[in-house]
Amino acid sequence: MTTTQASQKSLSQLTETTTKKFKSKFKKNKNNKFIANTSAELHKDLDITVSYIQKNSGLTFDCKAGCVHCCVHSRVVHVLPSEAFYMVNQLKARLTELEIDGLIKALKIRSETPEDGDFTCVFLKKGICSVYDIRPFTCRRHHSLDVEDCLPKGIYPPEVSKSADLEDLASAQIAGYMSALETIHFSTIPIDLTQALLKVFTDPKAEQRCKKGLPL
């Protein structure tokens, strides 16, 4: 077996293991809040993967506290509906009604950003992510091996150098999680973070749609 074949086999096994893990959980509980909370467990699994790659790959990630290129220049941050529900549940527990109203207004403004406008994430406060502990899978997996690649060269986000191993492992994990969600017919259709949070905050039918496997 070649190294590539062995690698592909390991990735397939990771996807299968992740599917079995969450499928087992969903068999016991299909409550929407429970499903949303499994997002946090997936995030922890990814954090372990990221830490492992950083320690054992020999690669150096240029991402450091205070580096916010991805938070400023990423036009779209895709999330799964379950992640959006999880974030909203957490935000409702942490923020006052007045703060939530302010956040919804900020999300609406961000959702209407013109092509040449400011796409800075609404959660970036004074150069720091204000929801770092509950940030979605896409943010957790994003990394750069060279900060120079992150500097914008136009109005669109730049392509950055990444660890192929981390990208493959993260893809295997999210694929396994999505496969488990599909067994209970819960939506796995990605949606932009801004739009997702707006829908969960303001649309009372959002949960009903997702439980039918429909777009958020």
Q: Span 176-195, mean pLDDT? A: 98
Which residues are CB-neighbours of 199 under 8 A, at least 6 positions away?
Answer: 84, 191, 206, 216
Q: Looking at 75-89, 149-163, 187-201, which range is the least confident one?
A: 149-163
User: Which run of H or E residues covers position 191?
Assistant: strand 191-192
> Please, what is the angle between helix 193-202 and helix 81-94, to 10°?
60
Pairwise CA distance, residues 31 & 69, whole Å: 37
Q: Which of 33, 66, 90, 32 is nearest to 150 (CA)?
A: 66
- Does pTM top 0.85 for this prediction? yes
List, for residues 110-137, the tens digit of each pLDDT value.
999 998 899 999 999 999 999 999 999 9
Phi-psi region of 58 (alpha: psi -120 to 50; beta: other; left: phi over 0): left
Bigger pLDDT: 213 or 5? 213
Q: Is the pLDDT at 5 greater than 80, yes or no?
A: no
pLDDT of residue 124: 96
Bigger pLDDT: 188 or 153? 188
Distances (CA, A) of 4 to 10, 151, 165: 10, 33, 12
pLDDT band at 3 (very low <50, low <70, confident <90, very high): very low
Residue type, 28: K
Pairwise CA distance, residues 127 & 66, whole Å: 6
With tokens 């801004």, the residue in question is 194
pLDDT of residue 174: 98
Q: Is the pLDDT at 56 greater than 70, yes or no?
A: yes
**Residue spans per domain, the chain:** 31-211
